[in-house]
Structure 1
Amino acid sequence: MLVLGALIVIAFLISMNTGYIRLSPMDVLKTFFGGGTDKQDLILFQFRLPRIVISILIGAGLAVSGCVMQGISRNALADPGILGINAGAGLVVMLFISFYPSTSAAPVFMLPLLALGGGLATAALIFALAYQRHRGLLPTRLLLTGIAVAAAISAATLVLTLRLSPEKYQFVATWMAGSIWGTNWKFVLALLPWILILLPYVFFKANAMNVLNLGEAIAKGLGAPVSKEQVKLLTAAVGLAASSVAVSGGIGFVGLIGPHLARRLVGPRHQLLLPTSALAGMLLVLVADTLARWILQPSEIPTGIVVAVIGAPYFLYLLARAK
């Protein structure tokens, strides 16, 4: 965890120096402590820092959400993107943005709530279709149901985009590719309460997740209220994923890679696994966003594409190893 924290700090410093207008490390240091020019203040405090903070927040939110879903479903391939939670949240956000201006203050703070509604509805549909009365949640059934629902929602989203104006279509297409479009402090304030409330709650439930990971029958035998805990944790996981998607676009695979990396480093106990997953997710999204801004300067590519380049081969590797 200390190593991951140190790597995040290094990536943070590199990201502040990365962009079309280059600021030297000394310029960044002077500007950070109030000694920079007006142009340097604008670049650092209004453009780069909000985006860096949002990258860190959505990395933690998506990774912990994936860790919770893997724990309650006992499915190592569970991820809010693969299971369709991100697609459901994104569909509602896309509809809202299509019909209302996204620059006013009110819609910015409404986006996480709207995304939560879409994510919860999608999660309820997936779990209702995957749940079997006598056998509970079967990992393979859950994965296949999630992939099917995600495909259906993505198809509906594409059909709806055909009705948009060229300007809004361009925005939605970029958003769906995983572009961190909320890059000012209003979006940080809209996302921050969700992360600050839901992350500590999930960390508090680490022991309950350890019990649920033993299997539904054993957890019930130990006296755990399995259904109630699953609903509470699922709601928290969807809240983390949906609020992150509201400002990050369709970034996938963070909830898959983060927990897997953390599990290899600290083992399966959720007291350590959850915070380590958060750190791994922060590092992954921060590095991916920095690369997305640097690779094709002065243009930039969506952060979700960089994450997908890393995540898709890893997902196929895990799928090949799954029994």
Structure 2
Amino acid sequence: MINSKLIKKQRLFMILLLAVMIATAVISLGLGYSTLSYERLLPALFGQGTFKENFILFSLRMPRMIITLLAGMALALSGAILQTLTRNDLADPGIIGINSGAGVAIAIFFLFFPVDVASFVYILPLVAFCGAFLTVILIYIFSYSKRTGLQPMKLILTGVGFSMALSGVMIVLTSSAEREKVDFISTWLAGNIWGTDWPFIWALLPWLVILIPFTLYKSQQLNIFSLSEPVSIGVGMHVEKERIYLLITAVALAASAVAVTGGIAFVGLMAPHIAKALVGPRHQLFLPIAICIGGWLLLFADTIGHNILEPNGVPAGIIVAILGAPYFIYLLLRK
């Protein structure tokens, strides 16, 4: 039974976060290389804009904003699951190799397979998932011991090792590729939001519509995972089966996000920590908060990065890294 005061506190933070997200979204829609005054936003949203205003709003800025929000939410939820399963505050899909696995799969697909423009957008999340899932299987195999089971710290260190190895593979793949394809992969690696059209939203949205409710449904199992392994077994939970289900969910969330946003790390690291600091460690309470924080954090980073230097700006992944790296070092020193 969750204390009613905590529930009220969570609802208050949700309202505040939604207000901050809406405010940031409005600012993001108004800023950019092409001018769009804030007093014209509402008329344009309700179909009373000029051709130029409609093009800027509906073809350029709104798809990018929605993609950024959705991807941030997916990365935050993936990070929250990984931190619980590994019982390690440093777990993040970008740090333990999931993003790198997805990136190598995307690079191989993009460099060596014929690209059909019509289906490319929808195939990309599947390709990223296959690469990330294969990487996680290898990390799991190398981290698992028949005598001691899965060791969380060993999983983190193995993941970091795979991430570095896969980065080397990416360099080898791009060293002899065509210039145009290398430019795309370099953009992906920097975490530049490149999927900025409506089809990318439709490609990403089904993953979140299925996986976010599933994860929230598994909140109680995640609470049990936060305890020690003997306690998890003692309450009757099938630990290995639930761990595999949730690990696949975390991989799918991260892979679907980075397929359209590039290799972005640290969102999945920071958002769950901030959420726990606000409402406590119960997953029923902090997961919705973490989802909102992740969406806002990536939108905030992209809004800043996209408008610092014109016309191309700074990739959102770099802005997030500037914010997240000091926090990662702080957690590393504290633990």
Task: Please state which band the TM-score falls in when normalised by the shorter chain.
Answer: over 0.9
Distance 1:304 1:4 in 2: 22
Are 1:45 and 2:33 matched, yes or no?
Answer: no
CA contact (8 A) 1:89 1:245 kept: yes
SS in 1 for 2:202: helix
Alignment of 1:14-25 (within 5 A): 14-25=27-38
CA contact (8 A) 2:139 2:155 kept: yes
CA contact (8 A) 2:107 2:173 kept: no
Q: 1:162 to 1:134 in 2, by over 3 A?
A: same
* 2:96 paired residue number: 83
Count of matched residue pairs: 322
Aligned counterpart for 2:188 among listed residues 175, 186, 201: 175
* 2:202 paired residue number: 189
CA contact (8 A) 1:136 1:216 kept: no
CA contact (8 A) 1:18 1:293 kept: no
Aligned counterpart for 1:30 among listed residues 30, 43, 46: 43
Structure 1 residue 143: deviation in Å? 1.4
Distance 2:113 2:53 in 1: 33
TM-score by length of 1: 0.97
Alignment of 1:249-268 (within 5 A): 249-268=262-281
Distance 1:81 1:102 in 2: 26
Structure 1 residue 102: deviation in Å? 5.5
Distance 1:55 1:201 in 2: 21
Structure 1 residue 35: deviation in Å? 1.1
* 2:9 paired residue number: none
Are 1:303 and 2:316 matched, yes or no?
Answer: yes
Are 1:269 and 2:278 matched, yes or no?
Answer: no
Distance 2:199 2:110 in 1: 16
Distance 1:197 1:137 in 2: 28
SS in 1 for 2:92: coil
* 2:177 paired residue number: 164
CA contact (8 A) 1:181 1:249 kept: yes
CA contact (8 A) 1:63 1:277 kept: yes
Distance 2:289 2:250 in 1: 16
Are 1:94 and 2:112 matched, yes or no?
Answer: no
Counterpart residue identity of residue 305, structure 2: A
* 1:289 paired residue number: 302
Identity of aligned residues (%): 48
Structure 1 residue 2: deviation in Å? 1.7
Distance 2:151 2:252 in 1: 23
Counterpart residue identity of residue 89, structure 1: A
Runs of 5+ in structure 1 lacking a partner?
none
Are 1:313 and 2:330 matched, yes or no?
Answer: no
Q: Which moved more, 1:162-171 or 1:65-74?
A: 162-171
SS in 1 for 2:314: coil
Counterpart residue identity of residue 229, structure 1: E
Structure 1 residue 265: deviation in Å? 0.7
Structure 1 residue 200: deviation in Å? 0.4
Q: Which runs of 4+ in 1 moved over 3 A?
A: 99-103
Distance 1:185 1:314 in 2: 34
Runs of 5+ in structure 2 lacking a partner?
1-13
Are 1:71 and 2:78 matched, yes or no?
Answer: no
Distance 2:187 2:167 in 1: 14
Q: Which moved more, 1:95-104 or 1:133-142?
A: 95-104
Counterpart residue identity of residue 231, structure 1: I
Pairwise CA RMSD: 1.1
Distance 2:206 2:38 in 1: 31
TM-score by length of 2: 0.94
Distance 1:270 1:101 in 2: 43
SS in 2 for 1:164: coil
* 1:154 paired residue number: 167
Structure 1 residue 219: deviation in Å? 0.4
Are 1:121 and 2:134 matched, yes or no?
Answer: yes
- CA offsets, 1:250-269, max 9 Å, x none? 01111101111111111100
* 1:208 paired residue number: 221
Distance 2:122 2:114 in 1: 13
Are 1:11 and 2:24 matched, yes or no?
Answer: yes
Structure 1 residue 138: deviation in Å? 2.2
Counterpart residue identity of residue 158, structure 1: I
* 1:221 paired residue number: 234
Counterpart residue identity of residue 59, structure 1: G
